[in-house]
Structure 1
Amino acid sequence: MSEKLIQFRQDVSENPYVTFNSDGEGVSRVFDIDWDFHALNQNKKIISFGHIDEKFRQDIQSYLFGLMQWQKNSNSGSHRAVSTLIMGKYKLNSLATRWGKSDFSLLSSEREWRKCARKLEGVGGLAYCRHIASFINRLNKAGLVTRYVHKREYIKWVQPDADDGQAIAFPEAIHVSILKTVVEFVETYHPYRHQISEAMEKLYTYQDKMFNSELKALGVNALTERQMQALRTRMSRTTKTWSELNLIPNFSFHRRGNWLGKLLRMCFICVGLFSAARKEELLSMNKESYDETLTAVPKVSGVSTKGNKGDKIYTTWNTAPIAKLALELAFDATQAARKYLLERLDDGYQNGKLTKDQYNSRRQDLESAFISSDIPYDSQSIINKPTLKCKIEGAGDGLNMKELNIIATAEDVEEFDLLNPDRVGSLIVGGGLPKLSPHDLRRSFVVFMVKSRLGNALTVKYQLKHRNINMSNWYANYSELARTNQLLMDDQLMRDFDEAIEGAAVDAWDEIYNRSDTLSGAEGERIAKNKSERLAQGEEIVMSRSELLALVKSGDKSIVLLPTGGYCTNRNCERLCSLMDIVEAPCEHKVITDKAAKRLSRERDNLIASFREINDMGDYANELILDARKKKIQSIEPTLVKHSIPFDVFNDDIKVVWA
């Protein structure tokens, strides 16, 4: 057993503090069910171990703590983001559950590793397996295990049909349909945003009064489910008569936030589709986030934590004016809920039910435009919520709402399969999207922008706040292919392309047969011989343009323009041909016209000037470059001779100075 591992076990056995409050006082110990990270002010505040089997729990807590200590020692006192630690907790639990053990130091044993690796086969998709391997490798770096997992090992764990692909990109028609729906919703309800808040405040006041009266009348501290249902029915009879239901289009009262939650998700999708910000970045925005005063392009601002150890960075995204209306609608319509929640928080903090860090964290949540629209009667339930921000994803509470009214056509399905090859078959004709997550909004934004030539990878990198342009290119996957596919489906456009290509081919053949006095190159010399024979027979035009066009259309004649102006007549050529045949034998299909020869003469002059400039440096490191350039220059000269273009023979010596 290594010294690091011995020291680690001694440290853990004392059950030390693992989290601290903003005053530096210990809050959570290693073996506590919950680790409280409120003082770090990150998006994730709690790591809970309550769902983990007791026989694995303490080992998982111990190794996660050991990894955190190593990270602190390696990074000037800071560890990875809490969200990353939560992911690590899940990966260690998955590993332990499959393996049946949780003393991860045993993975150093080859025999035990083989047992564990067999149990991991089929555990999930490629990314999931890579994350498990990556976490084992982090434990290796921390000195807690000696096992290092290579790709050739974890690739064997991948479940073949696991859904582990990238976020989906919407077909263009569906993308436009979603945009139209959310924009119309925002524009419809923006004028009613204050009335919505006032109506909800009236509801909270009325329901609280009725709830407390019921408790008093029954002489109890809580209502049974049957009693609560009876009370809700009585209250609903009253609220159905309120005038707000007629004054606000299609509005309905729900204390659990059903209707208000729909409004928040519509606004969230709207801002997401017009900014491509991440979920937590969008949740950090409020109605003050929109700005159009500093630049010509409107911007929204928010907080990003990606790639910064969970620490928050204030940043901006380009957007459209509709984002302003969406943020105002979301914020102002939930003002009554914000006021209600804040009153309960203040009361809880004053009565010692919340720590200072917990209180400050929840108050900060309420600065968002997207807060929880679910208002419990019980104040303690509000205090116990880990976050007061809107729940965007989850069973029955996702973005894939029936109000979007998505019905896929055959064309939508075809484009979806093209843009999302790892999800072929998941969108069917007449059906809706298989899923709709905040990340799907991001990828669809990118694909729509690149496919429509509204930006490139650098634009994507800025807008999505990527650190690596390769990630930006990955998000834009298949967008170019989709655009090309659209072009190919445009019959008139393709006919125009064909006519332009045929016209260019006829121009080239006309130059060869009728306009060039001299032809060189193996194929050029054969054509010149045939041309001479036909001219000798009295033909003034060797081949008319109409004849050439017929031959091009039939495929009997094919031609390709080479980089320096010559032509290749081989339709099946696989050779990367240049006009300087230095290494390989001269091409049998090459034609050089007078025009191309003049271009070669100019190129030769440029090569000579470049050669002499480099040669004057006298650096031996340039010897190979100069030798190749000299051969290129000299290889052009026979062509100039054939076309009667005057030149001075080049025979400069290479100057080499050895150190």
Structure 2
Amino acid sequence: MSKILMQLNQDLAENPYVTFNSDDQGVSRVFDLTWDFHAKKQNTTEINFGHIDDKHRQNIQSYLYALVEWQKEHSSSGEHCAVGTLLEHRKSLTVIATRWGNSDFSLLSNEREWKKCSKKLEGYGAENTCNNLARSVNILNKIELISRYVSQEDSVKWIKNGAGDGQAIALPEAIYASILKQTIEFVETFYPYRHQISDIMVKVYAYQDDMLQVELDTLSLNHIDEMTVNQRACFTRRTNRDIYRWAAVRELQKALPCFKVNRQGHWLVALLKKCFMCVGLFSAARQNELMTMNKDSYSVTQSGVSKVSGFTTKKEHGNKIYTTWNTAPISKMALGLAYDATKATRQYALNKVEQGFQSGQLTKDKYDFKVQELSSSFIAADIPFSSSELQAKKNFKLSSIHELNLKEFNIIATEEDVAQFDLLNPSRAGDLKVGSGLPKLSPHDLRRSFVVFMVQNRLGNYLTVKYQLKHGNVNMSKWYANYSELNRTRDLLMDKELMGMFDELIHESVVDAFDDIYNESETLSGKEGERISKEKQECLRHGEQVLMTRSELEALVKSGDKSIVRLPTGGYCTNRNCERLCSLMDIVEAPCEHKVITDKAAKRLSKERDKLIASFKVVNDMGDYTDELILDAKKVKIQSIEPTLNAHKIPYEKFNDAIKVYGHENRI
């Protein structure tokens, strides 16, 4: 047994605290069935171990405790990883222990035990799940509790054939536009009635509470839990029947025929989901980020840009960071509709939470957490009759949001939709069928679809994507954007009329370039330019004023006998099969044999040289030796342009500044 494991066993003998409240007092001990993290104020507030087999539970808790302590010791902030990450490790270790039949993870260092464990995990699940299993083993390796490290080759064997990886889908543009349109129409239709909805619910809660007390007195019962199923069903039907006779309810139903009243809040949940989708469609914020927004989250900058604000926890070890997203004005209506329509529900829940705190049923940290959640526009609409049940709710976030209701959008895919879907979602190609609906719709699908719409319509690039999606890694933003670019290119190629226009414009520009070379420019430089100049001189000696007419040039270009490429370094290249990197090769190798520089191109090079000189002087004045290579390259580039300026008789001041950085003071 390693020294670290021995020390761990000694620490665990006293069953130490693993979580603490906001006053730094111990809350949960290692071997408690639940670890309470409410004081962290993160999205995940508890880790439960009650469902784990007794023979594995304490081992799993012990290794997680070791991870927590190691991270606190080695973190500059003294914090461990996000609670959500700890929960993922608990899930993975539980899977490994259950499949392997053992939870003494130190045995995984043994080759025979490892092979036995790895064999049991073969064909377990999707790629993401198997990656999580590998990460949990490797983190134990990192903190030196085991010597086993899982390679990608090992974890690939655990992936189940045909198991989806859960990757979010990007919606075809027509389907995305249809969902956008229907969502906006819903918000605009329901927004004027938001206060009426709340006012009715205030009366509903009060009436049902009063009638419940009358019912309990009639049945000689003390609590609703003592009622039978039939008694509760009869009570609910009777009170609902009475409520639907109210004039206010009937009036609202005339305006909103779909409006329904029930304690479980099913209709309110449907309304909240539409508002949630609306803000998500116009911001691309993550699910948990949207959950932190309310009617005060919308604002407009001085320059007129609509913004929504909220908290993000991504890449912040679970700690919340306040940030903003660009959005559209409709988000203000969506957040206002969701918040105001649930005002009665929110206030009812807040009153019960306050009572629970005052009576000692809730700790200060749990109370603060619930109050914070109830400040959102997107809260749980289910209000149980039991106060204790309401106070015991794990959270007050809008639930069942992972899969959004697809049926209400009546989506029927066309051939074009299917082609776009397969291109945007190669790992799910074939999942969308002509004449059918989408295979799924989740909050994360809204994020990917937002990017497709934005990039495809040239509303931004991958840097815009990185800002809007709050990616920690720009490579992820590029991945999102690239598929959108690919789809836009496909759409472009399919538009034959548009491509025909492009071909015509390209053809005209090529003819213009040759016309400039053969008929307009007085001087040509570059190897190919010098050869053409000799031909022109020969023609002039024979009395010809124009080497080639425009019609002759058009015929040569159309036949493919002549082609040309404009170079970023100035001038043209007449070699259609060129693989040379001119900006670099012109400095380190002999000049290109196919390069032509006209008078116009030479003037552009003169301006480029002026900019290079100005840039050189700024960097040179810094005197930083780390800039040596940059200055060397700039100087050579500046001097390489000068022969071209000489050839075209463009005046300039010869450049010969010395490099000032360390070791080059006297260098010419």
- Separation in 1 of the partners of 2:617 and 2:246? 92
Identity of aligned residues (%): 59
Report the more deviating stretch, 35-44 or 228-237: 228-237
**CA 1:145–1:89: 2 relative to 1, 3 Å:** same
Aligned to 2:456: 451
- Secondary structure of 1:169's counterpart equals coil
Matched, 1:272 2:280: yes
- Report SS of the residue matched to 2:324: strand
Gaps spanning 5+ residues in structure 2: where?
A: none
TM-score normalised by structure 1 residue count: 0.86
Distance 2:619 2:468 in 1: 43
Q: How does 1:374-413 map to 2 (within 5 A)?
A: 374-394=382-402, 398-413=403-418
Give unpaired runs (5+ residues) of structure 1.
Answer: none
Output aligned runs, 1:328-343, within 5 Å. 328-343=336-351
Aligned-residue offset at 1:601: 8.5
- 8 A Cα contact 2:195 2:341, kept in partner: yes
For the structure 1 residues 58 and 233, does the alpha-carbon distance in structure 2 shift closer, same or farther, using more than 3 Å as the test? same
**Helix, strand or coil at the partner of 1:476:** helix
Query: What residue number does 2:44 align with?
Result: 44
**Letter matched to residue 316 of structure 2:** N
Q: Which residue of 2 aligns with 1:79?
A: 80
Matched with 1:10 is 10
List per-residue Cα deviations over 1:162-192 (Å, max 9, x = no partner).
4226432232222222222222222211221
Return the match for 1:482 from 483, 487, 490: 487
> Who is 2:227 aligned against?
223
Q: Check whether the contact 1:565–1:595 (CA below 8 A) recurs between aligned residues.
A: no
Q: What is the deviation of 1:386? A: 0.4
Q: 1:485-496 to 2 correspondence within 5 Å?
A: 485-496=490-501
- Give the distance between the partners of 2:533 and 2:347, measured in 1 at CA: 91
Name the residue aligned to 1:60. Answer: 60
Where do 1:504-515 residues align within 5 Å?
504-515=509-520
Q: Deviation at 1:67?
A: 0.7
Q: Which residue is 1:559 aligned to?
A: 564
> What does the per-residue CA deviation read over 1:94-151, in whole Å, with 9 as the maximum and x for residues that have no partner?
2223333211111222332233333333434444333332222222232222223344
Of the candidates 242, 251, 254, which is equivalent to residue 246 of structure 2?
Answer: 242
Counterpart AA for 1:287: K
Moved more, 118-127 or 603-612: 603-612
What does residue 119 of structure 1 align with? 120
TM-score (norm 2): 0.85
Q: What CA deviation, in whole Å up to 9, does each residue of 1:32-66 have, x standing for no partner?
A: 22112223222221111223233322211111111
Task: Tell me the distance in 2 between the aligned counterparts of 1:20 and 1:606.
Answer: 60
CA distance in 2, matches of 1:373, 1:613: 62
| Structure 2 CA distance for aligned equivalents of residues 609 and 185 of structure 1 | 57
- How big is each residue's C-alpha offset from its partner over 1:392-423, in whole Å with a ceiling of 9 and x where there is no partner? 425xxx32343333333322222232322222
Over 3 Å counting, the alpha-carbon distance change for 1:607 and 1:53 in structure 2 is closer
Change (3 A) 1:613 1:147: closer
Equivalent AA in structure 2 for residue 232 of structure 1: T
The farther-off stretch of 262-271 and 541-550 is 541-550
1:103 corresponds in structure 2 to 104
Q: Which residue of structure 2 aligns with residue 132 of structure 1?
A: 133
Output one character per residue of 1:487-525: Cα deviation in whole Å (capped at 9) or x when no partner: 333444323322221112112222344445676666556
Quick check: 2:406–2:438 contact (8 Å CA) kept in 1? Answer: no
1:113–1:559 distance in 2 versus 1, CA, 3 Å: same
Q: Distance in 2 between matches of 1:182 and 1:297?
A: 21
Aligned to 1:439: 444
Change (3 A) 1:605 1:401: closer
SS in 2 for 1:478: helix
Farther-moved stretch of structure 1 (545-554 vs 478-487): 478-487
State the match for 1:167 in structure 2. 168
Q: Does the 8 A contact of 1:287 with 1:327 survive in 2?
A: yes
Change (3 A) 1:55 1:604: closer
* Structure 2 Cα separation of the partners of residues 297 and 123 of structure 1: 48
Aligned partners of 2:404, 2:184: CA distance in 1, in Å? 15
Return the offset for 1:599.
7.1
- Count matched residues: 655
8 A Cα contact 2:170 2:448, kept in partner: yes
Judging changes above 3 Å, is the alpha-carbon distance between structure 1 residues 547 and 98 closer, same or farther for their aligned structure 2 residues?
farther
- Deviating more after overlay: 342-351 vs 77-86: 342-351
Maintained 8 Å contact 1:611/1:630: no
From the superposition, tell whether residues 593 and 140 of structure 1 become closer, same or farther in structure 2 (CA, over 3 Å): same
1:307 aligned onto 2:333 = no
- Matched residue SS, 2:226: coil
CA RMSD, Structure 1 to Structure 2 (Å): 4.1
**Partner in structure 2 of residue 317 of structure 1:** 325
1:440 match: secondary structure: helix
The one-letter code sitting in structure 2 at the alignment partner of 1:573 is C
Partner of 1:69: 69
